[in-house]
Structure 1
Amino acid sequence: MWRGITLGLAELATEDKGGRVDPRHIPAPDNTGTETEKRFAFQAHVAVRYAIEMLGGYPVDNVTCEHIEDVVVARTVGTPHGGSTTLWDFQQVKSREHDKPWTLLQIGDSKALRSLLRTDRVLRQAFSEGSDLNYRLTVAIEGKLAAGEPSFRDIARSGGKRESRIRAGLGSKLEDLDADPGELSDFLSRVHIDELPLRGELERDNRDALAGLSEHLTVAEIRHLHQTLFDLVRSAMLEQLCPQWQLFVTQPDPAEVILRKRLTRQTLATIALRLQRPELLYFLQASRRADYQHPYGLLETSFPTRLSDVRVPQRISIAASSDTLPDTCLGQDALCMLTAGPGGGKTSLLRTIQARSAAQWLAGIETQPLALTVNAAALTPPRPLGAALASAANETLSLLGLGRTLGEEFFRTAPRPGTTWLVLIDGMDEITDPELRREVLEWIVQCADRSPAVHSFVVAGRPISDAERKLLGAVPEYRLDQFSTEDLHSAVQGWFRQLGIPRPDTSTDAFIAALSSAGMSKLARTPLMTSLLCQVYSMNPDGVIPDSRIALYSSFADLLHERMHNRGPSGFRTQSEHLTQRFGPAVAKHAESLLSELLDLIGQMAAADESRPVDPLIYIHPAKPEYLPDHSIEAWITLISRSPAGERPPGITRKVWTDFIVSALTRCGLLVREGDRLEFAHKTVQEYCAARWAMRTPHAYEQELDRTLQRWIHNGGPNPWGAPLETASYISFLIEADRSVLRDIAHRKLYDSVTRESLPCCLLVAIINRFGSLEPESWQPVIDQAIRSTTAVVEVDEDPATRVWAATILAELDEAPGLAALESLAKETTLDHGFNEDPHTPDFSDRLQAARTLMQFDTRRGADALMQLVLDDEDLDELVRVRAAEILFENSDERAEAALGMLAEDSPWYYSRFAAIKLYSKIDRHTAAEYLNRLIEDWRYDDPESCQDYAYLLVQWGDPRQLHLVED
């Protein structure tokens, strides 16, 4: 491949000792990286040479620049036993301005041997105990060795006069390194010389070798690729290489500094694709941008909403199980299903999988299938698979910068031998025609049966009927789970940053708290709902939540309505027109009328189903007292059909009209299909509609308020958490009345309820007030009464827990006195007397609870209160002190390390010291081991069994000092 260069190195491998090791953790004996790079471009060309070997399939594993030596080449070589191992070639690269031959003494003058000797010593010391490291030491010289010059091996082994003179001369150049004759001879016997072409010739050879790897590239393209490769090497020499494949490694192996210096097959993956499969490269570069556009970015912002900027990873579970799986499970079967409710994140997940798989392939990681997202509508009518995939890919990827039209053949064969295409079929439920949907499902099954080694399929959509499920056969069915609490926080924060909400971190906390207190957080636990709620929030020019929850839900419903009537190809209005227009303009107009009134019809049903109504006017059909008793689809169709807008118009068959109603209900965003049932997407959606209907008359409104408030007033005790929190959401909707006569009723009833004896009602006022639903002037007397009631409980109540809870409510109602009360309670040493007499879980400490709650409102004051608890060694249980330090650590307080260290060393009880030591190990494992050794020595005779457990943990940490306890 290169002129005059011999690549056979198998004979240089030492005996294989059972493993492959990497000298990445060895500190370099000297480091002149950046200076060397500035002075020697020749060294970069040497590294390029080995990078091209990797591209050409030679057994070069990686090339590291400026770590330990100028260039370190790792090769796979054979062993005497027929196996393979890694040979590490540590190279000192030497060049000079003239092209005269080198002598060995001149090489000695170049200081190459000095560097290699230091390297040899470091390696031998680091791997002195049965090392598996196989390495060679090389001086790579620009040009030739002078004729007749012996090798370093001959110099080391020969006793001739000339060899002895040269050996003595080389020894004098290494005199300051104190190498005795035995070490010098052993060292020289293992140093090799590589003669390299002159710099101009080496650069030309490199370009020629690169051109030999690809026949389709022009001379200009080869020059460009060579320059790209040269720039990568220079970045590695400058410790600035940032290989993208790091993003996909769950347990990074080399240290970060090595990643910035090391070229691997993954680093060169894009260059390899450009040389070998340019069509695949174009596909990957476009697919990598599949997650740029967010599917639910309904509002225009100053810049496009990118899915990758706001998406939060979701969990996948297999049907009928609680097991959580990674999304890579979607490529393990020839055919599987992925289901989720409306807005459950299916589209987001599929786009993310496609973008991630492309990024992995571009990084040289080709172990996973290569994904392509296809809309189900693009597969109608069924046609040859290659043509369908090519058409869909060209259409969608052209918007993402696809540089070349992809042909059918590209998708007929595997993207690379041993891999498969992962065809992600989105929007199956958006095919409204049942017969057409059935044809597509049957066609997918046939394709999966015909080419399981080339294509695997994921059918994504909402849960399908049993009949359609049977078409797919016995295939795995996965479901996409909703957001966890942490996921929701991350999703809202991402949206707020994208939408330009001021102080997104603080605003997210406040928004999440508002959602949670009002019972809306479950509604927001899907990507669609989160995005819509955040966008509704951002619609207000002042950047605040609308003035009532009803206004928020009304805006939310308007967005859903607008989305449903979107004129795009996947919009329901467009598809409904296609479905009904063939029956004539009268039918199409009637269908449009039903869509316009659909939200009102659903609202009437929600009101009757949510509560036991007292006003018969809320019924569409008052003769039927049980409304939607089973929420079956049949019941929904029956009741919708009783309304004028839902009555089947002449000229359309009953089946088509019924299918149209079902599609409208399932696409409106308010309902979700669960088998043969239609449920509200969330309870709060139903509560919103029910509250609106309860406001129809003052009499009905007052009776509904009485009914719902009774459980808050008579809860059986002062503890606010005995309150019926599940009804707070509905009551919040009720009191946000849009008429003054109704607001007066709500004002009077709540004022009478917020007494010292009924803390839950004070809590209810705090929940409502958190949304800004209570108008400051008219509702201030109610708030003031709640403040007086909670203040009285804090000051005079005998139960410590009740006092803390009352202070928490007070902080919600009036922050300044509430925080002062929490701060005072955290310092009150008598507050935990009951806990100290009967200690149990530290979080039950009332003082700790007061400090934690304070921290939720004011981080600094809460952290100060927790630190005071850590320092209280007289009145507080030891485990509570440790828990306080742990909370400081969890919140990244700079005092946490000192606090845990103090408890790990000075706490009087071994169990609290051990708890502190385990936490400290997350900060500094070495120091934690010292603490644990002292703990064992202090308590080994008092509790030998526990100390044996501690010794076992020390061994796991790599500290053998107490190994004898484990062995005993």
Structure 2
Amino acid sequence: MPAEAVFTGEEGEGGVRVLLAGAGGGKSTLLRRHLADSADRWLSSELDSPARQSARQSSARRPVTPDPLAPPATVPVLIRAVDLAGTPLLAQALANAITEALGPFGLREPLAEAFFRDRPFPHTSWLVLVDGLDEVPDHGTRIALLDRLAREADQELSPYRFVVATRPLPYGELDRLGPDAGRFSLQPFSAADVRTYARGCFGDLPDPDRHVKVFRAELKRSRLGALARTPLMASMLCQLYAADPTRPLPEGRTGAYQSFVELLYEQNSHKGVANTHDAAISLLKGRHQIASDIAAAEQAAQAVRDHLRKLIDLLADQRLKGNTAPAVETLDAHLHVQRPAKVKEARWHAFLGDLLRPTGLLAERAGDFDFLHRSLLEYHAARYATRDEAARARVLEVLFPHRGTTAARYWQPPRLEPSYLGFLLDGLLVPGDSLADATAQALDEIAVLGGDTTLSFLTAQVALRTCLPAHATALKLARFAERSPMIDGRARAAAALAELDGHQEEGARLLSYLAARTDTNLIDGLAAARRLASLDGHEEEGITLLTSLATDPAVLLPTRVNAAAALAAVDGHEKEGLRLLTAFATDPALDGRARLHAAEHLVRMDAHHLEDGLQLLAAFAADAALGGHVRIDAARFLAERGDERAAGLLVRLASDTSMSGHDRTLGAAILARLDGYRQEGAALLARHVEDTSLHEDDRVAAAQNLATLDDDRAADLLTGLAADTSLGADSRAWATRILTEIGGAEG
């Protein structure tokens, strides 16, 4: 589906959506683009009309009851997760963040907290864009923040909705947001996207199309093609190429970051940064009249300037460890150069800021400096962590504490971001000295002895183009490709093997083997065919295998539908994949669940097929010939897409006595979480609790859903169920437990 879909949808479907992507995947860029696009739309509307002004004034005075027939509307506000976590009140945090953001653009006084307590307009919510949840370093603080968001989003008539952008978090953390929180994975660039992006970057070069071809050939030679599918890396590599088309692209991810940072420093020479730094030093020493004071100030300032790159590495390390003090204070506290006695602290800090400001690596925000991107911070932090032989030895011991012993077979990857871990490993391996040999030996040991967790570690680092020892890594991946108990583990291992230098054909053969064998786990087979379809030189083989999986009647129907969706995602084969999906969705002889799945894929594909898919889903929800669970799920998906037909369908389904009690209760629960339908959904749930024709478990489930809505009727209804001797002991005990939980929550 289009990336913008994460920002749309009904308020009542949980109130929180999570945008997931790896390092450099474009999360922050997407948030900022939506912010800018929304600002354009609001500014182009009649915001200054008397009716709008009156509505804004009245919304600040009283709560607004949402109109279910009003179109969904939001006003987005952007805030960093670390800033939100550090401020206990949401409205105050938003006021602070927006004041800081708008200050440089002429804002004359701070925005008031009260401005963000109520809806910006009737029937309109604040869409709080929370950026960088993964950048909150402390696990407990992250959990507390997730709980805060869940509580706020669950409040009836809350003026807020949330989109939370993050890298993948440890297992289970995002569950704190509750089952209604939507999760969206931001997809990487396709090959066509990379071509289009590169064409835009090379527009100022003579014959841009020729340069795009050369650039793509360089991606293939350097094996950076997969990494270039992430927007950040695509941007960096295009800038490197455009700066000097005759220079080969660097090898590996760390090499790309190193070259990019060097390019920034080279560009700085053209921007006169050296002159800017000279002026900063002159200003610092010019505050003194005595020759010895002038000399001391100049000597200290020059020493700091000479070590500026190392200081930036140190700052990154401190930021990664959770130090949120202003950058100039952090550097001052760790400088190897002591501030001269006659230089005042404020002046010294201003000088440090003057050195940092023009580097191109940091952005100034609200009087402080942040790295342009989290991945750049990780690169510089890893440089600091591996800055010399002693530091590298410490890192080696932390990463592989049991190397050289049989305990290596129980090795677990350290709890570090894979991106940062990859930079650390490269910092250990690239120098090619005895410590690099020891690191390679430790990696050999875990590759040979390591358990199943080693697979996730290896595939992640291969994808990041980390300098792993190729031979041992290839042997272990080949073993995993032959046998792995993990879901799609065999295909993941074979795909990673195909990314290793010198092992592409071996990996491709294993992928082909997995995709073609009838006794292969179908998840592995489909994943293998999908990966082949994107592997240089094997695209047609993968496409043939996907087509075979989608059209073979002997293959399980869900796999056929997924194969058709995978085919539709391949450049040049969209029409065939969409044709197959449409055929699956409209064939009344097929299983209803498979038809529903095909229609959902159509909705997600592109805007052109969105309405076709939504029409099918609405028809499924209304089709009495389909199973109740299919009809409910179709209505649920419509609700998630913000389709106005969802509410009416859910009302009919929840009231349909021909449906099972379980499905009717589920329909009422979904309805109650739609904006504007809480009362109607709750009333249906209450009737289900009192309906003795329903199974007793369905009645208790309805009461439990009512309790989650904080409905006043829940306690009395649960008390009645717990005391009803006509119910089984298990059902009565269940009702009693829910009552106890309600009492505990209220107490």
Q: TM-score, normalised by structure 1?
A: 0.39
Structure of greater Rg: 1
Q: Which has the higher helix share?
A: 2
